[in-house]
Amino acid sequence: MNLLDLTEAGSDGFLTLKPGRLPALTNTPHPFPYQGSKRALAHAVLRFLPSDTATLVEPFAGSAAISIASRYARMASQVVMNDVNEPLMAMWQRIIDDPAGLADEYEAMWNQSLEDPKAFFLTKRAEFNETFDPAILLYLLNRIVKGAVRYGKNGAFNQSADNRRLGAKPATVRDRLARTSKVMQGTTVRSGSYESLLTQANQADVVYMDPPYQGVTNVADHRYMAGLVRGDFERVLREANANGVSYMVSYDVIRPDNKYGEALSADLELTHLHLLAGRSAQSTLSGGTDVTVESLYLSPALVQRLGGTKSLIA
């Protein structure tokens, strides 16, 4: 894809780019609300997929915005998506295989909820923690505050409902699932930790990673990213570099208050881009209306495939 419409927007020691919107992504489907969805960033990320990309691998998939976008825009022939959250990936498998059946179950729950939405949510949340039923997870994701999945120390889903809303209307969800399923046919869905998917990727693949944000947890100690220890993550990235893997990482986010997490270690020799993106879920969460600046790191192998750093800008 032509990178020339990336605009250099300023110099602060980073390459700051303002990618325009890709027409190929107009009306991209999105299946369910999910905190940290990278829908807005897809317009930038897809520009860094080499034209010979065989498989796009998304090890921290969540709502898999980049996988969906790359299938929708026909930028990757194969997609492998993975997340450590097993019920989430079971739900994904059903979205792909049986969107109508899943939409029926959502509709039944949504209708039952109308009598007492608050109590219904709590009953379903308790039931999910017993059964891990994918259809219940879909209902919970549509009801919780800002699509922000939270699990307690005992592993139970403990996020509260947004009681000002009933969750998306059944017809809307049916349409979202049907459209997503159509785009994602043939996708490989896995659940597990990210490491081997990254380090064992083939040379013709591209791995896009969006690990949990440092900012979300409000943890003062920035070595930890909601369960991922920075040093461990960097060690896995080093192994991926040694194996010549082409990868991208969304990592620290620059927020309206100008605070952002520590950058990834310089010895990884990643190309660190600052992208002026639209309003992200993160900005929405912090109540901001500002344009968000997102960090994107490109691995040495990927930059080489794209023709070197100079070819990233006009």
Ligand X SMILES: C[S@@+](CC[C@H](N)C(=O)[O-])C[C@H]1O[C@@H](n2cnc3c(N)ncnc32)[C@H](O)[C@@H]1O
Binding site for ligand X (CB under 6 A): 34, 36-38, 59-60, 62-65, 83-85, 193-194, 210-213, 227-228
Closest residue to ligand X, judged by C-beta, is 62
Using an 8 Å Cβ cutoff, are 215 and 221 in contact?
A: no
Residues 6+ apart with CB under 8 A from 104: none
Provide, rounded to whole angstroms, the least separation between the CB of residue 112 and ligand X.
28
Residue 11 three-state SS? strand
Nearer to ligand X, 60 or 157 (CB): 60
CA distance 233 to 249: 11
Strand order in the sheet with 78-83: 7-11, 15-18, 271-276, 293-298, 247-254, 206-209, 55-58, 78-83, 188-191
Provide, rounded to whole angstroms, the least separation between the CB of residue 3 and ligand X.
22
Nearer to ligand X, 10 or 227 (CB): 227
Which of 50, 48, 38, 41 is CA-nearest to residue 21? 41
Provide, rounded to whole angstroms, the least separation between the CB of residue 197 and ligand X.
8
Provide, rounded to whole angstroms, the least separation between the CB of residue 307 and ligand X.
26
Provide, rounded to whole angstroms, the least separation between the CB of residue 34 and ligand X.
4
CA distance 130 to 156: 9
Place of tokens 């500002």: 290
Nearer to ligand X, 59 or 99 (CB): 59
